[in-house]
C-alpha cells in the first residue's frame, strides 16, 4: 500500500514540468487562450496555482488555486487526474473563461 509520503516522493522525482495547460476561450473576446496551472505539494494536498478566474480572485491579494487532498489509496496519476478535474471545474465556474475544445 502506498502512503502519502510515497506519492510525494514520486511527484518530487518527476522530470517533467509540473503544470496543466488547459485551452480556454475568453468570454469577453471569444479568443482562444491557455491557462497554466502550476502544481505543487502543500502539506498533504496537491495545489494547482492559476491566474484569477473570478472577480473575487482578481480582487484578492492571494494567489488563486485549486487543490485536492493526496489520497494514498490511489496512484500519483489518479491523484493528479482528480486535481485536473478540479482545475477544469474552476474554469467551468469562471466568470472570465470557458473550456476550449481541446
Alpha carbon distance 36, 20 (integer Å): 6
pLDDT of residue 10: 95
Grid coordinates belonging to 58: 482578481
pLDDT of residue 1: 53
pLDDT of residue 2: 67
What are the backbone angles phi and psi of residue 95, rounded to the nearest 5°? Answer: -85, -25
Per-residue pLDDT of the chain (102 residues; tens, 9 = 90+): 568 999 999 999 999 999 999 999 999 999 999 999 999 999 999 999 999 999 999 999 889 999 999 999 999 999 999 999 999 999 999 999 999 886
Alpha carbon distance 28, 13 (integer Å): 40
Amino acid at each position: 500500500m502506498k502512503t502519502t509520503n510515497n506519492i510525494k516522493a514520486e511527484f518530487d522525482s518527476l522530470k517533467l514540468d509540473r503544470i496543466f495547460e488547459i485551452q480556454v476561450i475568453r468570454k469577453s473576446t471569444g479568443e482562444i487562450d491557455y491557462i497554466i496551472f502550476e502544481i505543487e505539494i502543500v502539506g498533504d494536498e496537491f495545489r494547482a496555482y492559476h491566474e484569477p478566474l473570478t472577480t473575487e480572485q482578481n480582487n484578492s491579494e492571494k494567489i488563486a488555486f485549486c487543490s485536492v487532498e493526496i489520497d494514498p489509496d490511489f496512484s500519483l496519476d489518479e491523484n493528479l487526474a482528480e486535481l485536473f478535474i478540479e482545475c477544469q471545474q474552476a474554469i467551468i465556474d469562471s466568470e472570465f473563461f470557458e473550456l476550449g475544445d481541446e
